[in-house]
Chains A and B, each alone.
Chain A
Amino acid sequence: MQKDGDRSKVFTRRVVLLAGGKALLVTLLGARMYYLQVMEAEKYRTLAEENRINMRLIPPPRGRIVDRFGIPVAVNRQNFRALVVAERTRDLEQTLRTFAGLVPLTDYDHQRVLKESKRRRSFVPVTVRENLTWEQMAMVQVNAPDLPGVIIDEGLTRDYPYADLASHILGYVAAVSEDDMDGDDPLLQLPDFRIGKAGIEKVYDLPLRGKSGASQVEVNAVGRMIRELRREEGEPGHEVQLTIDMRLQDYASRRLGTDSAACVVMDVHTGEVLAMASMPAYDPNAFARGLSTKEWKALAGNPRAPLRNKALAGQYAPGSTFKMAVALAAMESGIVGPEQTFYCPGHLTLGNHRFHCWKRWGHGHLNMVGAIEQSCDVYFYEVARRIGIGRIADMARRLGLGADLDLELPGEASGLIPTKAWKSATLGQPWVQGETLVASIGQGYVLATPLQLAVMTARIANDGLAVRPTLCRQRVADGRLITEPTPSFDSVGVSKQAMAVVKHAMWRVVNGDRGTARGSAIDVDGQTMAGKTGTSQVRRISMRERETGVRKNEDLPWKFRDHALFVGFAPAEAPRYAVSVIVEHAGGGSRFAAPIAHDVMLETLRLDPSRRRTPDELAAIREAPPPTAAERRRRAEAKAAAAAALAEATAETAAEAAEGSPGQGGNGQ
C-alpha cells in the first residue's frame, strides 16, 4: 500500500501539472482569440469587406454631338448583344446550334464561345454575338425556352448617322490603347470603353465622356455576384453643339462627290464654320466598331487620303486666289493705285528669265480690277516687283494665311507665307526677285489650307475684321463646357476703299463680261456672289514644253494635274458667307472649282444658316433633318427594287402585247 500511495501522490501531482499545462494552452488560445478578434478586428474587418465587395463601374452614356440647330450628328445607339452563361445551359454546344438556327453565327464565333467558356468560370457570361438587329433580338427572346443560358444584353455604341459626311469634323471613338491609359479615370480600364481618337470626339473627349457611376456588389469567393449593395449613378456626358449646319455639310460633302476635294463655308462676321467638307472620307462607325487590318490598310493606303481632313491639314499653293492679298498690299503701300495700268504681253522678262501669263498672247492694258477679273499674271508680276515680298507677306498674314487659326480640331496645318528671312533661315539661301514674282500669283513657296483661304475671303468680305474660325462655341474648362459669346474681332488694318476695290474686282470675276468665273454667277433675289478662281500647278512647266505646246491637263497622270481652287463670298451686296473650294488635281479653277462653289453657295443662301431662328423654326429644322446614311441606303435599295420591278413589269407587258397582237409586232412605232 505504501508503494500505491507513492504512485498516487506522483499521479496526482502530475495530473495537476498536466491540468496546469492545459490551462496555459487554453489561455494561449483565448489570448490569440482576443488578439485577432479585438485588437486586430479593424484590419480584418477591412479585409473581409475587400473580400466581399467589388466595385463595378457603370459607364456613363457619352454626350451627343449636335449641329447648330440641334440635329444629332453623333449619338449613342442601343446595341443588343447575345451572351451565354455556360452553367445555365444544359448543353452549351446544343444551345449554340439552336442559336445559330435563329441568328447567323460564324464558325469562328462558335469556336470562340466554346473556348472562352472553358477558360472562364461557368457563371461568367460570354459574348456570342454583338450588334443584333431588333428583329434578331426579338427572335432570340421569343425562343428563350429553347435557348437556356442565353441572355440579351443592351449596351450603347457610338453611332454616326451621317457616316462619312462629317467624319473629319466629328472624328471617331475607338478602344482605349496603352497610350491613352495615362489618365486616372477608372473608366479607361473597362474593356469595351471607347474614347475620342480624332476630331471633336477627341478634343471634347472629357466633357463628352461624363462621370462614371459605380455599383457596389457583393461577391463570393469565386467572384460570382450575390447582390448589389449600393449604386451611385454617374453623370452622362455633356452635349456638344457645333456651328456646323448639318444640312449644308451634307450637301457640300455630297456635292464634292468622288473628287479628292475640300470645301469650307463660314460666316464672315462670326467666323462660325458652317460646313467643312473633305472628300473622300471614312465612316467613323467602322472605327467605333473596330477596324480590321485590311480595312485600315485600304484607308491608309488610298492616294486620295480619306483619313486626312484636306480642309484643315491639306496645304496647297493658293494660285490666283492669292492675288487679292497682293492687290491689297499694293494699295495699302501706296506704291500702286487701283487705277494704275500695266501692259500684259503674255510674259514678263526678269534678267534672263521669262515669266509667263496664263494667257499666252497677253491681256493688254489692265487696271487692278481688270487684272483680278481676268486673273492676269503679268500685272501682278509688275506689282510684286514694285512692292516686294515683305509687303505681300505682311498682308497675307493679316488676312489669316501662314499661321495656325486655332480651330477646335487637331491636325491643323499652318500653310506657308515665304519671306526673305524665312528663306535664309530654312534654306540658307538669299531671296531672289523671281521668287517674289512667283509668290505674287500664289505659286512657289506659298501654301495655304482651304480653311485659311475661307478665312482670308471672310476678312475681305467683312471689310477687314480679323475673324477667327470656330466649330464650336463651347470651351473645355476643367472637363466642363463653357459657352462663350461671339468674340469681337480686331481690324486687320486695311482701308475700306482698298477692300471695296478688291470686293468689286471679285464681283467682276463672277459677274463681269470677262470674269474667269462668269459661268458660276448667282442671282437669288438680287443677291449675287463675288469670288476668285485659282489654278495651282503641282509641277514646273519646262521651256521645251511651252514651245511644243503645253500638254493638256487631262492628258497628264492624275497626280500631276493642277489643283482647281475657288474662293468667294455672298451676298456680294451685304456679305455674310464665305466659301472656299479646292479640287485636287482637277484642272482649272473656273471649270472645276467655281461650279461647286456656285452650288454650295446657292444652298447656303437658301438655308441661310446664320439667320436667327425662332424656337418654332428650330423645331421644324430638327424635325426634318437630312436623311441619314442608313435611310439613304434604304431609299436607294427601294428605288433599285422599284426600278427592277418596273422593268420586269414593262417587259411582261411588252411580251403580253407581243403575244396579244403578233400582227402589229413587226410594224414598229
Chain B
Amino acid sequence: MIGDGLMTARLRRGEMTLGEKLWQVSWSLLLLIGALAGIGVAMLYSAANGNMDPWASRHIARFSVGLALLLVVAMVDIRQWMRYAYWLYALALVLLVAVEVRGTIGMGAQRWIDLGVFQLQPSELMKVTLVLALARFFHGADLADTGRPLYLILPTVLVLVPVALVLKQPDLGTALMMLAGAGVLFFVAGVRLWMFGLVVALGLAAIPVAWQVLHDYQKQRVLTFINPERDPLGAGYHILQSKIALGSGGLTGKGFLEGTQSHLNFLPEKQTDFIFVMLAEEFGMLAGMGLLLLYVLVLTYGLAIALRARNHFGRLVAIGVTFTFFLYVFINVAMVMGLIPVVGVPLPLVSYGGTAMMTLMLAFGLLMSVWVHRDVQIGRRGAYDDG
C-alpha cells in the first residue's frame, strides 16, 4: 500500500487515468445488473414459448449496448456531468417540446423520436437530466438556502415544465415518476418538511380539478383500479388475469415454460409490463421474492454510493438515480399485483423494451460515475473549487 496517501490525494482532485477509473468501477454492482438482465432474457425466452426470438436475443443485444453506454458514462468525470447538467436538461426539454409539436401535427399520442437504431423517448431522457439539473442546483445550496421558499422557485420550475409537457402527451405514469423523483431530491437537499406538507395538501385539494383534466382512459384505469370487478372483460381483465397468474403460481410455481396464464395468452403484455407475473407464475413466490431481493441489493448499492460520495452533487445524483430505479420497480410490481392502477411502467432490466433499458443504463452509468469519482471534492460554486 505504498503511495496510498498519494493516490488518495490524486483521487480527491479527480486526477485519474482511464485504467485507474476502470479499476474503481464496482464490478459487483455490474454483476447484479447483469443478473437482472439475465433473468429478463430467461423470461423473454419463455414468453416466446421457448424461443430466443423475437425478444430474448434483442434483449441481450440491447443490454450489451447499454453496458457499453454505462461504462462510457461512468468514465466521464463527475465534474463534467455537473458542468453540463443544465445543458443536458435543456436538450431534453427541447426534444420534449419537439415530440409535442410533432405529436400535435401527427395523430394521437407520440412520445418518441425515431433515430433509426433506437427510438429516443425524450421523457425518459428527462427523468435522468432532471436529476442532473436538480442535483446541480442543490449542490450549492445550504440549509439556509433551502429554507427559503423563494430560493425553491427555480428548481420547482425546472420540475414543473417537463412534468407539464409529459402530462400533455399524455403520460401520467412518467409525470408522476418525475414528480416523485424530484420530490425526493428536494427532500434530501433539506427542504423543510412543512413545505412538503403544504404541497401534499395542495395536491389533495387539486384532485377534483385534476379529475376533470384526466383523459377518459386514465379515468377508466383509476376507476377499474378501485374496483376491478367493475369491468371484468375490459380494463379490469388485465388486473384480474394478472392476479390469477400470480396466485396460481403459488409458492414454487408451475415450472419454466409451464405457466398456463402466460402461455395461453390470458396474461396481457407478458413480455413487457407483466413480465414479473410470468416469473412469479412459472417459478412461484420464492422466485418473485428473490427478484425483489436483487432489486433491494441494487438499491442498497445506490444508497451506499450516495452515503460514501464526498461531493454533494454526486450524492444527490446517486439518490435521484436510485430512487428513480426504485420507482420503476415499485410501480411495476405494485401494479401487476393490483395495488395501484395499471400504468405503463416496465420492470427495470427485465422487461423487453429499448427505451427503458437505455434510460436505466444511462442512470446506472451516472451512479457508477459517482462511485468512480466518489472522492472527488467539488466546491460550492464550481467544479474545480477545492472547497
Contact = CB atoms under 8 A, between A and B. Distances in A.
A, B in one complex: yes
Interface of A: 3-4, 6-7, 10-12, 14-15, 18-19, 22-23, 25-26, 28-30, 32-34, 36-38, 40-41, 43-45, 47-49, 51-52, 218-222, 226
A33 B289 contact: yes
A218 B264 contact: yes
B135 to A, nearest CB: 12
Given A33-B337, A36-B243, A11 B188 contact: yes
State the 9 A-B residue pairs at the shortest beta-carbon distance, nearest first. A44-B247, A48-B248, A220-B264, A37-B285, A221-B265, A41-B250, A45-B248, A10-B190, A221-B266
5 contacts: A26-B296, A36-B247, A37-B249, A52-B260, A52-B266
Interface string B234-261: 0000000101111111110000000011
B265 A29 contact: no
B333 A37 contact: no
A38 B250 contact: yes
Contacts of A38: 250-251, 285
A11 B292 CA distance: 26
Contacts of A10: 143, 190
Given A12-B307, A37-B246, A29 B333 contact: yes
Contacts of B312: 7, 11
A37 B338 CA distance: 13
Contacts of B188: 11, 14-15, 18
Nearest to B334: A29
Nearest to A226: B264
Interface residues of B, number: 47
A47 B248 contact: yes
Given A52-B260, A52-B264, A41 B143 contact: no
Interface string B89-112: 000000000000000000000000
Contacts of A26: 292, 295-296, 330
Contact of A6 (B142, B280, B339): B142
Given A15-B306, A25-B330, A51-B261, A40 B190 contact: no
B79 interface: no
Q: Is the interface of B mostly helix, strand, loop or mixed?
A: helix
Contact of A44 (B187, B248, B289, B303): B248
A49 to B, nearest CB: 8
A184 B315 CA distance: 72
Interface string B327-340: 00010011001010
Contacts of A7: 142-143, 190, 312
B143 A6 contact: yes
B247 A43 contact: yes
Contact of A48 (B251, B260, B295): B260
Contact of B248 (A11, A41, A221): A41
Interface in B127-164: 142-144
A447 to B, nearest CB: 62
A595 B263 CA distance: 77
Interface string B210-245: 000000000000000000000000000000010111
Contacts of B265: 220-222
Nearest to B267: A221
Contacts of B142: 3-4, 6-7
> Looking at B245, B248, B265, which has the most chain A CB atoms within 10 Å of its CB?
B248
A23 to B, nearest CB: 8
Given A18-B323, A30-B289, A220-B263, 9 more contacts: A11-B312, A18-B188, A19-B303, A29-B330, A32-B334, A36-B243, A38-B251, A40-B247, A51-B260
Contacts of B326: 22
B319 interface: yes
B48 interface: no
B184 interface: yes
A220 B264 CA distance: 4
Interface in B164-214: 184, 187-190
B348 interface: no
B143 to A, nearest CB: 6
Indicate the member of B184, B264, B315 with the most A CB atoms within 10 Å.
Answer: B264
Contact of A219 (B184, B264, B303, B339): B264
A37 B190 contact: no
A471 to B, nearest CB: 53
B248 A18 contact: no
A11 B247 contact: no
Contacts of A218: 260, 264
A503 to B, nearest CB: 79
Q: Which of B263, B337, B387 has the most CB of A within 10 A?
A: B337
B288 interface: yes
Contacts of B189: 11
A3 B142 CA distance: 7
A29 B387 CA distance: 43
A18 B319 contact: yes
B190 A14 contact: yes
B40 interface: no
Given A33-B289, A51-B244, A45 B190 contact: no
